[in-house]
Amino acid sequence: MNSGSVEWLQAIELERDLTLADWNKAKAMHKEEIKNAFTNGFISSKGSNRIADEIFYNENYGGNDEQQ
């Protein structure tokens, strides 16, 4: 089983100090996890609707790699 963003951060934190690059990678991983969870749930309940998936993701998570 693949580890999630939180588990990934915990694993590398035990070995060394976390860097900004680590946090940015974890943020990107987490966004992908959220998108995948929504898409999988949407497909399970309604069938595949790519446009609805993208609209939801873009409205809630920006849909791009903006820096905060």
One-character DSSP codes across 4-58 = -HHHHHHHHHTTS---HHHHHHHHHHHHHHHHHHHHHHHHHHH---HHHHHHHHH
Span 35-53, pLDDT tens digits: 888 877 766 665 556 667 7
**Does the pLDDT value for residue 8 go beyond 60?**
yes
Joined tokens for residue 12? 């590398």
**Does the pLDDT value for residue 10 go beyond 80?**
yes
Please answer whether residues 61 and 34 qualify as being in contact, where contact means their C-beta atoms are separated by less than 8 angstroms: yes
Percent of the chain scoring above 90 in pLDDT = 15
**Does the pLDDT value for residue 9 go beyond 70?**
yes
Domain ranges of the chain: 5-61
